[in-house]
Amino acid sequence: MKLIKEIKDLKGKKVIVRVDFNVPIKDGKVVDDFRIKKALPSINYLSKKGAKVILISHLGSKDSIKPVYLKLKKYIKEALFASERIFSDNTEKLIGNLKNGEVILLENLRREIGEEENSPSFGRALSRYGEIFINDAFSVCHRKHASIIGVPAFLPSYAGLQLEEEIKNLSEAFNPSHPFLFILGGSKFETKMPLIKKFIKGADYVFIGGALANDFFKAKGFETGLSLVSENLTEIKSLTKYKNIILPEDVEVNKDKKNKFVKPSEVEKDENIVDIGNQTLKNIEEIIFRSKFILWNGPLGKYENGFGGSTEKLLKIIAKSKSKSIIGGGDTVSIISKLKIEDKFSFVSTGGGATLDFLTSGTLPGIKALK
């Protein structure tokens, strides 16, 4: 895989940069610009080298990407925006008139037919806007979309600075220092099972939180009430034999808008498990300060429903530790961004599903496409 700094002459070259500006937007304004800031080093590097920088990204919806452009202008005042469709006379004219060092953001890729289907004709048409392709969107490298794996087939392609950082830092999990603590939260057990299988034999401690812990409680025969639980518990039962798996000792449950802390074995049929308890936090805190390497993916409570207290507390504890710490997962990263403690960790990944897939397999379709 070739890196952005290996390009010898960028002056005057039209460079297509795939970024991931799929950020939360509320009332027409960007709520969290974490991913935008992570793309700036590559954008600024290319601009200073005299390249004509063409940014392409998607939003999860078919809405206009203009709110992202307005936030981008906070960091790159002279940035331009192609307000019409990607393939239009106006967009083509704006790109053709770009001066050396200028930056332009094109409209939402998801507004075009062919992006998600990885249409060869779409990839070829997109590639004609540039002479070089840079992928700096690690968080969508697990997607087999035209802007990720299609365009590299038609242009000299390189990894951006953020993509390089993601690969370098996440790869440390394959040969970590010990004691190694792996914290896994969130839900969707079926997507995280491969990750547990991969690290169960290599990590000294595997703490399971979030809705994933409910699956283990269920497999042990405990009542889980109204809590989210996976349908298939067969594979989970096979994991209960591992002594390095740590489950919450106490949990916070919700019933009729009232909360209380109980042991997992004390949950009742009309209660909903929403977070881990204080005793569990104390137990994990002790392990954190013993560990030399910490890998964390996914929140420990129902963060989307306002139960992010334990996740925030544990993040602050890790931030104060001397351990090498790598954090990933969309919701977990949102909490870090809200707390403004990103610089307290060794590395914070921009990826959600991409982080999980990379840690499981060691590569991604978007990375392979650059080789």
Name the strand (E) or helix (H) holding 181: strand 180-184
Last residue of a domain, one of 115, 133, 164: 164
**Helices marked H in 200-308 — which ranges?**
210-219, 234-239, 278-290
367 located within any domain = no
Number of domains in the chain: 2
Q: Helix axis angle, 309-320 relative to 278-290, nearest 10°?
A: 20
Is 285 in contact with 317 (CB distance < 8 Å)? yes
Q: How far apart are CA 77 and CA 40, in angstroms?
A: 13
Last residue of a domain, one of 104, 137, 164: 164
Same domain, 138 and 201: no
The CATH number assigned to the domain holding 287 equals: 3.40.50.1260
What global pTM score does this model have?
0.94
Same domain, 335 and 247: yes
CB within 8 Å of 46: residues ≥ 6 apart = 4, 10, 15, 17, 53, 134
Q: Helix axis angle, 353-361 relative to 189-199, nearest 10°?
A: 40
pLDDT at position 276, please?
97
Using DSSP's 3-state secondary structure scheme, residue 16 falls into strand
Same domain, 132 and 203: no
Same domain, 291 and 213: yes
Using DSSP's 3-state secondary structure scheme, residue 157 falls into strand
Last residue of a domain, one of 120, 135, 164: 164
115 located within any domain = yes
Q: Which residues form the domain of 20? A: 4-164
Burial (CB < 10 A; 0-12, 13-18, 19+), residue 243, is: exposed
**Helices marked H in the chain — which ranges?**
34-48, 66-72, 89-96, 120-127, 161-170, 189-199, 210-219, 234-239, 278-290, 309-320, 330-339, 353-361, 365-368
Q: How far apart are CA 137 and CA 120, in angstroms?
A: 20
59 located within any domain = yes
Q: What is the CA radius of gyration of the chain?
A: 22
Same domain, 202 and 132: no
Is 101 in contact with 110 (CB distance < 8 Å)? no
Same domain, 183 and 159: no
- Joined together, the tokens standing for residue 216 give 């283990």
Q: How far is CA 184 from CA 140, 188, 196, 247, in A?
A: 21, 11, 8, 11
Q: Which amino acid is at 244?
A: N
131 located within any domain = yes
169 located within any domain = no
Q: Nearest-5° angle of CA 63, CA 66, CA 69?
A: 140
Same domain, 160 and 181: no
Q: How far apart are CA 156 and CA 172, in angstroms?
A: 28
Question: What does each of the 371 residues of the chain score in pLDDT, given as a tens digit?
Answer: 999 999 999 999 999 999 999 999 999 999 999 999 999 999 999 999 999 999 999 999 999 999 999 999 999 999 999 999 999 999 999 999 999 999 999 999 999 999 999 999 999 999 999 999 999 999 999 999 999 999 999 999 999 999 999 999 999 999 999 999 999 998 888 888 889 999 999 999 999 999 999 999 999 999 999 999 988 788 888 888 899 999 999 999 999 989 999 999 999 999 999 999 999 999 999 999 999 999 999 999 988 888 889 999 999 999 999 999 999 987 888 899 889 999 999 999 999 899 999 999 999 999 999 99
Q: How far apart are CA 312 and CA 336, in angstroms?
A: 8
Same domain, 193 and 122: no
Same domain, 139 and 185: no
366 located within any domain = no
pLDDT at position 157, please?
98
Same domain, 153 and 92: yes
Q: How far apart are CA 277 and CA 203, in angstroms?
A: 23
41 located within any domain = yes
